[in-house]
Amino acid sequence: MATLERIRNRAGVLVSVVIGLALFAFILGDFITSGGAFFNRTHMEIAEIAGSSISYEEYQARVSDNENLQKLLSQQSSLNEQQMFQIREQVWQDLLRANILQPEYKRLGLTIHEDELFDMVQGRNIHPFISQQFGDPQTGEVDKAFLTNFLQNLDRDPRAKAYWLFIENEIQKDRLFNKYLTLVRKGLGVTSLQTQRAVNDRTSKVNFDYAVASYQSIPDSLVKVTNSDIKAYYKSHQNDYKQTASRDIEYVVFPILPSGSDVNDAEEWIKKALPDFIAASDPVQYVTLNSDTKFDSKYYKASELPENVRAWAFSSSIGSVMDVYRDGDSFKTSRLVDVKMMPDSVKARHILIGLRSQFAEEQEKAKAKAKADSIMNVLKRGGSWEELAAKHSDDPGSKDKGGDLGWFPSGMMIPEFDEASFSSNKGEIKIVETQFGFHVLQVVDKGKKEKKVQIATLERKIVPSSYTTSQVYNNAAAFAGNNRDYEKFAAAADQNKYTRRVANNLLQNDRSIAGLEQPRELIRWAFRAKKGDVSDVMQFGDNYVVASLTAVREEGIAPLKQVAADVKVRVIREKKAELLMDKVKKAMSGKTDIYDVAQAIGANVEKAENVAFSSLNLPYAGIEPAVIGVASVSAEGKLAGPVRGNNGVFVLTVTSSVKEEGDANAEKFRIANMYQSRSYYEVFEALKNNAGVVDKRYNFY
């Protein structure tokens, strides 16, 4: 019975423990679940701005919106990395301004009224951005009728509507910031005392003789520096060692180059294609469909062709085919398509009727074409090129010269214009449509005709095959896999005679390393790795890369170990300065002539003339503001010093003072203008620094 009772009692305790553990597990599980969401949010945070957390999702959504707008406007299906970088940078700047400036605007009650917006777009105070986009290129005057028509038809063109919303948003942001900036600038006054002091600093000048006991006169080996000296200096000068986070790496490049087999494959391909190329009824089409480079329609004169091609082309008949030859990293064969007697250059003039918008519809194009036709008809009836060009041409470079373009060779102009110029008869007037609009063109004169040839070239480039690429990769992977720390990395690289390249002081958001194509992923790796780590194989363009992290510098005060060498140099200079201060004091004792002091310290006497207090640079000595400051307040004819400078310890004697005339009004204007110009940048930078921006974009891009 006692045993059963004991079991019951223990069972009660056991049940309590189990229930307690279950409750704890439930609470812990709930914490982990909610905490997981918290940790996930932290992990997906791309920035913190003025206390607000910016998530990756929010940032990327804005990037996607801007990307889609750019694609819509440019009619591109995809954007390259440089375009995407610019978009991400613009979104970042927008986020900074929105989170930093909007609270300031709200606090001050700054807004844009709808009437003000109308005034910026169509009123009497057109915003410069509107003038730039919709104004006449010469006068900047906005055609309000055209702009009104554009706005009324926004719903018909999604591209135009998207672009207009972007413009509207940009001009409002610009106006709000300028309102805020105006309030700040109104508070930046220049006092009369400040003006007078600035005038005196510029106009009060001194002439003086000086001698310097250079720090270099004492060998470093004669200065004793202890660890306690280094620690004491570091402790009292920590602000001198503030640093941003940066990394140093060493890396080895494995270039992906064609092998001998790849060269043979390219040569074999073009030799097999040669009979078909010879037999092709349309060599231009054959090149278009089969060559690694597109057909070049230009007619070449002899001097423009390589020697081997020139000798063949100008001694062959149309349809002849050149033997296969190697040209750099390609194998080529050429077929003579046409031979003509053509002028080397032409002299032409034109009147351009440009399109007012990149969203030009057929109606606008038809209107421009009709205007060009009308001008052409007037010219054919004897109208004045000078008058019509000056009045109607949208080409600012030629409109005031009667549309004259001067002489130009073939290939200089855009293809449509070039072809029309060289195919027209002298004096003929015609309309040419290009991406810029409609040109009323006349060829005024033609150069002497000479023989030119048109050639269709079939090209096969020598490129690394997949097998070659995989062999290079395997070599790089073996190097990375067998050398997982810096010591092994460096030893193996040297043993294999691989060049160890360096990239120092990489910052978190850097995007370039000399010699590597778009190495952003390598920079991101450097900030995730530990010192001594070796990367996996990465590919950048035509190179595989394996890197090792050699130095880590974190944000904040650099640790003493990292900057000990620099601290030691400074401590040595401090100790030299103390020794030289004593030496110069002793040399000055009982002396009144600077030449006697200079002789005692083994230095030469130098002359400084017309040195103002506002100056920083001392002739023959470098940047020495302390010496200039002492000279500016010293009495004439008396020894002054010793002065501890940047390059040594100085003693000086003022020989004379010069007081120039100053213009207080001009100085006040200069200072005020400086404040105004600096405020545009410094106001936002001050707000940004105060907001405590934490940029984590490097974790994602």
Quick one: pLDDT at residue 605?
A: 94
Alpha-carbon Rg for the chain, nearest whole angstrom, is 38
| Domains of the chain, residue spans | 2-43, 204-241+561-659, 246-257+465-554, 260-342, 345-447
- Answer whether 143's CB lies under 8 Å from 133's CB: no
Quick one: pLDDT at residue 356?
A: 63
pTM of the predicted model over 0.95? no
Compute the average pLDDT of residues 23-48: 52
CA neighbours within 13 Å on the CB side: how many for 24? 6
Task: Share the mean pLDDT of the chain.
Answer: 88
What percent of the chain is modeled with pLDDT above 90?
65
Say yes or no to pLDDT of 16 above 50.
no
Q: Distance (Å, rounded) from C-alpha 494 to C-alpha 387?
A: 74
Quick one: pLDDT at residue 138?
A: 63
Q: Which of 45-49, 465-469, 482-486, 615-619 bottoms out in mean pLDDT, i.e. has the lowest?
A: 615-619
Domain 204-241+561-659 bears CATH identifier 3.10.50? yes
- Answer whether 614's CB lies under 8 Å from 631's CB: no
Quick one: pLDDT at residue 615?
A: 86
What confidence category does residue 143 fall into, taking pLDDT thresholds of 50, 70 and 90? confident
Model confidence over 525-571: pLDDT tens digits?
A: 999 999 999 999 999 999 999 999 999 999 899 999 999 999 999 99
| C-alpha to C-alpha distances, 120 to 117, 165, 582, 589, nearest whole angstrom | 5, 14, 70, 74
Q: Is 487 exposed, middle or buried (0-12, 13-18, 19+ CB in 10 A)?
A: exposed
Compute the average pLDDT of residues 607-611: 92
Say yes or no to pLDDT of 37 above 70.
no
Say yes or no to pLDDT of 152 above 80.
yes
Quick one: pLDDT at residue 4?
A: 27
Quick one: pLDDT at residue 1?
A: 33
Say yes or no to pLDDT of 322 above 80.
yes
Say yes or no to pLDDT of 26 above 70.
no
What confidence category does residue 87 fall into, taking pLDDT thresholds of 50, 70 and 90? very high
Say yes or no to pLDDT of 57 above 90.
yes
Compute the average pLDDT of residues 328-343: 94
Quick one: pLDDT at residue 80?
A: 87
**Beta bridge partner(s), residue 607:** 209
What confidence category does residue 42 fall into, taking pLDDT thresholds of 50, 70 and 90? low
What percent of the chain is modeled with pLDDT above 70?
93
- Answer whether 427's CB lies under 8 Å from 295's CB: no
Say yes or no to pLDDT of 324 above 60.
yes
Say yes or no to pLDDT of 127 above 80.
yes
What confidence category does residue 15 fall into, taking pLDDT thresholds of 50, 70 and 90? very low
499 closest CA partner among 481, 515, 522, 511 = 515
Model confidence over 624-677: pLDDT tens digits?
A: 999 999 999 999 999 998 999 999 999 999 999 988 888 888 888 988 888 888
For domain 246-257+465-554, the CATH class is alpha beta
Compute the average pLDDT of residues 39-43: 55
Answer left, alpha or beta for residue 366, where phi above 0 means left and psi between -120 and 50 means alpha. alpha
What confidence category does residue 171 fall into, taking pLDDT thresholds of 50, 70 and 90? very high
Quick one: pLDDT at residue 20?
A: 37
What letter represents residue 523's amino acid?
I
Q: Topology of domain 345-447, per CATH?
A: Chitinase A; domain 3 (3.10.50)
Q: Is 670 exposed, middle or buried (0-12, 13-18, 19+ CB in 10 A)?
A: middle
What confidence category does residue 241 fall into, taking pLDDT thresholds of 50, 70 and 90? very high
Model confidence over 174-220: pLDDT tens digits?
A: 999 999 999 999 888 889 898 888 888 888 899 999 999 999 999 99
**204-241+561-659 and 246-257+465-554 agree in CATH topology:** yes
What confidence category does residue 359 fall into, taking pLDDT thresholds of 50, 70 and 90? low
Q: Distance (Å, rounded) from C-alpha 510 to C-alpha 494?
A: 28
Q: Tokens 């900057």 — which residue?
A: 563
Quick one: pLDDT at residue 466?
A: 95
Quick one: pLDDT at residue 575?
A: 95
